[in-house]
Structure 1
């Protein structure tokens, strides 16, 4: 059985009667080749991290887009993002800016997402780390 939609994008799984999530999907189904990233942080090609949370998110998402492209995937192929932040309040206080950055880089495609607060990340100056999974249609 194929779960692909007519346009070869992952299909959003929204159980009947559930409230619609904002900025993410409850689940995704897709057929194709899997492209995954490791935990991606917001450093640039020189290995430098910006100080601000927002700048780190922008760079981390840009880095994910570059990794996806290297694997022949695009942001609309994303089926899952897992965000690790060191300060949940910082994330929540910046929802509008985060939404703008996300849409600017990935459009209006919202995969299944999880958000986890952690004590710290491997890189001490990192404020966010994101893992991505995409499925490229065959």
Structure 2
């Protein structure tokens, strides 16, 4: 039986290529600011944005050979830590079809994979919805 979509203040729809612009940074900053104000937030990723939380990313980005001692967190780790910091107020969803099509079906355990035809349920469960990016 599918889980009901929790009621949230805002739904951020993250579409398109995540590394083409400041899309991901903007979305994460907006989500962080909303959570700091006590809001309940859900994020739905579609298209290439489904790769952000792929399990294959691991915890760190590849090392920078000019600064081997420095470690940078992967997008998956940043998202995981944000969800763990706000378990009852942040919900991250990944479009199953988009993830499978891009070889990113294996996601970190903190995100939920959903079929695209239930997207309307997520819109209905949010007081406000913001589309970010292009499919």
Determine if the TM-score, normalized by the shorter chain, exceeds 0.5: no
Q: Say which structure is richer in helix.
A: 2
TM-score by length of 1: 0.35
TM-score by length of 2: 0.35
